[in-house]
Amino acid sequence: MKASPEAQLRLLELADHDAELGRIEHRRRGLPELAEIEDLQTRDAGLRDSIATLGAQEGDLRREQAKAEADVEQVRGRIDRDRQLLDTGQVHSPRELENLQSEVESLLRRQSDLEEIVLDVMERRDTAQASLRAATAARAEIAAGLDAATERRDTDLADLDQQAGLAGAKRKDVTAQIPADLLELYDKLRAQHGVGAAALKQKRCEGCHLTLNTVDLNAIRTAAPDEVLRCEECRRILARTPESGLRPSQRPRSRGRRRASRRPRRLGRRRSLRRKADPAGVPRSGSRR
Ligand SMILES: [Zn+2]
């Protein structure tokens, strides 16, 4: 494929914008608020279930209490009637009087037992109500936390959207200056490798960070400037730059402190074995994978 050297260099700008868009997307997916919101929602769902269970328990206890109180009232009523019979002297037979007094005593014991039941139910109901209030308060706290986290998330997302919009606009400007066939190749390689084009700097492919061997460098030296080159190792489009290191005269002494120039020469070797970790984390392809 042929493309002007300028268009080839534009690919590097494009790769920068794509890397920026990738970073923005990475930040979008990794926003701490997303995990926080998920955690709060899980806790809220748990509390919602607890509240439903506690509400049902409280309802059962309320009915149980009403039933026990009605039982107490019924016994009290009978005691009152019996006492009235005794007090008003309507019963004359000693045997009946004895029976009546015995019944009152028995009813009083029954009343005491039933009142114990009422107290016990009321206690259990109090506990259920306290748990309900605590769960409801915790849910309100979670709701406030959710509101705050959602607001922070939305602010962050709006900020990232704005950044992505800017990077996207810049990308669009750059793509307008790249021929369609070259752009198509770049996009295809980007889909495969994450990064579509890399610079040749100091005899090294900036995509896979491997130093090219002499044979490949000689081939690049003799290639026409408009020939679109590919890295033999990572297959990315390899764009020549003024710092490619193709001619010794292109490396002035002022750049002597660069790391690349300190590296021993590796003439005669197929590839530098000192490969460095790819900072973009891009999966590598090729024979050495
Ligand atoms: Zn490469």
Six-digit token string for 132: 């309900």
Measured in Å, residue 200 CA sits from the centre of ligand 1 at 9
Q: What is the pLDDT of residues 227-248, one digit of tens each?
A: 999 999 999 999 999 999 887 5
Q: What is the pLDDT of residues 7-58, one digit of tens each?
A: 999 999 999 999 999 999 999 999 999 999 999 999 999 999 999 999 999 9
Report every protein residue that has its C-beta within 5 angstroms of ion ligand 1. Answer: 205, 207-208, 231, 233-234
Contact 5, 226 (CB under 8 A): yes
Contact 187, 196 (CB under 8 A): yes
Whole-number pLDDT of residue 158: 98
Measured in Å, residue 202 CA sits from the centre of ligand 1 at 13
Q: What is the pLDDT along the chain (289 residues), one digit of tens a residue?
A: 999 999 999 999 999 999 999 999 999 999 999 999 999 999 999 999 999 999 999 999 999 999 999 999 999 999 999 999 999 988 889 999 999 999 999 999 999 999 999 999 999 999 999 999 999 999 999 999 999 999 999 999 999 999 999 999 999 999 999 999 999 999 999 999 889 999 999 999 999 999 999 999 999 999 999 999 999 999 999 999 999 988 754 444 444 444 444 444 444 444 444 444 444 444 444 444 3
Q: Is the pTM of this model over 0.75?
A: no
CA 47, CA 41: separation in Å to the nearest integer?
A: 10
> If you search the block for the tokens 């005794």, which residue do you land on?
86
CA 242, CA 217: separation in Å to the nearest integer?
A: 15
Query: What are the chain's domains?
Result: 31-174 (1.10.287.1490), 180-240 (no CATH)
Measured in Å, residue 230 CA sits from the centre of ligand 1 at 8
